[in-house]
Amino acid sequence: MLELAILGFLAEGPLAGHELRRRVSQLTGYTRPVSDGSLYPAINRLTRAGLMERRADPAAGAARYVLSLTAAGRADMLQRLRKPADHEITDFTRFYIVLAFLSHLSDAAERHAVLRRRLEFLEAPASFFYDNERPLRAEEVADPYRRGMLLTARATSRAERTWLRETLGEEPPAFDTGCADSDPRAPAVPAS
């Protein structure tokens, strides 16, 4: 997802390396801090692959450079947005990186296909806690902190599903079981 964030920001225009790092760090937030040890090797991989170019920026001083997207980089970014991997749909932070750049897809049908995948994921029953294979609802959990986790995740999931349906122009189901009563698929929750 780091590579998609790099390509996505560069699709908006050339950036100095330090500015790109700042934007990627702000996007991924505290849940996935971006270190120089991950950012610069990713920049080098993308440059070697011909997806971006690096040129010296003499105005900024020694060892400073400006990065820009190539035509191949734009095509790669668009393909990543059209067909995100399953873990990019199911992981909250990864999905938000996809969402941050989804408007680069000019075809509404392609954007909606990605959003429908996320909605389908959120509508499947899930929980942080199970009784054998059955997801537990918040009301079935005695521990107040675990219950708090489930209630917070429920509210977040409901809000996201509402936004997705509105964006897709879909009506909510008549009876929205929406797995929302146990759904922990909220921020920073990996797929189960």
- pLDDT truncated to tens, each residue of the chain (192 aa)? 899 999 999 999 999 988 898 899 888 876 667 777 888 899 999 999 999 999 987 776 666 889 999 999 999 999 999 999 999 999 988 999 999 999 999 999 999 999 999 999 999 888 899 999 899 999 999 999 999 999 999 999 999 999 999 999 988 776 554 444 444 554 444 333
CB 1 within 8 A of CB 88: yes
What's the chain's Rg over C-alpha atoms? Answer: 20
**What is the predicted pLDDT for the residue at 168?**
96
pLDDT of residue 181: 47
Q: What is the pLDDT of residue 58?
A: 73
Q: What is the 3-state secondary structure (H, E, C) of the chain?
A: CHHHHHHHHHHCCCEEHHHHHHHHHHHHHHHCCCCHHHHHHHHHHHHHCCCEEEEECHHHCCCCEEEEECHHHHHHHHHHHHCCCHHHHHCHHHHHHHHHHHHHCCCHHHHHHHHHHHHHHHHCCCCCCEECCEECCHHHCCCHHHHHHHHHHHHHHHHHHHHHHHHHCCCCCCCCCCCCCCCCCCCCCCCC
pTM greater than the 0.95 cutoff: no
pLDDT for 53: 96
